[in-house]
Homo-oligomer: A and B are copies of this chain.
Amino acid sequence: MGSTPLLRLDVAVLDRNIAAMSAVAGTADVALRPHAKTHKSPEIAARQLAAGAKGLTVATIGEAEVFAAAGFDDLFLAYPLWVDADAAVRLRMLGERVSLAVGCDSPTSAANLAGLPLEVLVEIDSGHRRTGVAPDAAGQLAAAITELGVRVRGVFTFPGHSYTPEGRQAAAKDEADALGRAAAAMADAGVPAQVVSGGSTPSAEFVQGSPLTELRPGVYVFGDAQQVELGTIGFDQVALTVEACVVSLAQGRVITDAGSKALGADRPSWASGYGRVLETPDARIVALSEHHSTIEWPGVLPDLGSHVLLVPNHVCNAVNLAERYHLVGGGTWPVAARGRNS
């Protein structure tokens, strides 16, 4: 402990990941609007736009404020906002400065958007079972929102059920079917969708031939242990790790100083542990406390005091815990929107 744990970013791998997703979008002729909640970094967003991304997706008004202040002028807040008086003031300031769209899944919520300088994408559920209306209800919702005087730009979904082993391609098909039905319902209701937006890192590779006009993956820039275990990527596509120090070898296991306050505590039921170890694929993080990871390590153990590179299960939550990226080769970038989660 002392310098560790810290976020370690390999910019060469990052740039390869950014180029590869731009190629996926280009081949399928869809716009790329990557989700900036993963990195919260204007430096990384700039690289995404330089590689062809059309604009950014954000999760919160606070993130939108950070990226607008950094000069990004086309933002989609992919969230069914409830806009109170404070939020209305902040959205008005944003919308007067940048091209702004927000999500919405009910006319009750939409009523708070009337008069603000923004457009709406109606949210549908494509199988993740979180927010969003049924695809066939998108036309009725879009018409109701339009009647409130709020302009509807299109429709979006998040196929979060792509985060299951063997489920990626099926989720992409669910997403395409649901967005196709929603777009048809909107056309029938007289509110055609200019933008049909979907996408997640696990499902993105199946976008070809779908009705999507826009893709919103986030995690692909860094990769993480979930993506490795889902089969989306290999370890050679992992750009971000948590550098940790071996502080104990008690009972023949490796204990490092990176716990849930550095890696995040995410562990889906299908994951093999609380993260992985780069370059030691057979190691498993079998337990996690706030400041300890306990690793069952095959073969010769690393020395006490040596540094190891851990791959978080869910990189978005790991990034949100740190103040800065430490770049391989030297230098740092701030996690500019860290903690801007409202």
Choice from B290, B294, B342 contacting A1 with Cβ under 8 Å: B342
Interface presence of A60 (CB below 8 A):
yes
Which residues in B have their C-beta under 8 angstroms from that of A261?
317, 320, 341
Copies in the complex: 2
- What does DSSP make chain A's interface, helix, strand, loop or mixed? loop
Number of A residues near B (Cβ < 8 Å) is: 65
Interface presence of A133 (CB below 8 A):
yes
Complex Cα–Cα for A130 and B257 (A): 12
Interface presence of A87 (CB below 8 A):
yes
Given A2-B61, A304-B109, check contact A341 B321 (CB 8 Å). yes
Q: Cβ of B317 and Cβ of A339 under 8 Å apart?
A: no
Interface centre among A108, A246, A321 (most CB of B within 10 A): A321
Choice from B112, B291, B342 contacting A257 with Cβ under 8 Å: B342
Q: Cβ of B320 and Cβ of A87 under 8 Å apart?
A: no
Q: Cβ of A247 and Cβ of B81 under 8 Å apart?
A: yes
Given A247-B80, A248-B105, A265-B265, check contact A339 B323 (CB 8 Å). yes
Q: Tell me the smallest distance from the CB of A285 to a CB of chain B, in Å.
A: 12
Interface presence of A12 (CB below 8 A):
no
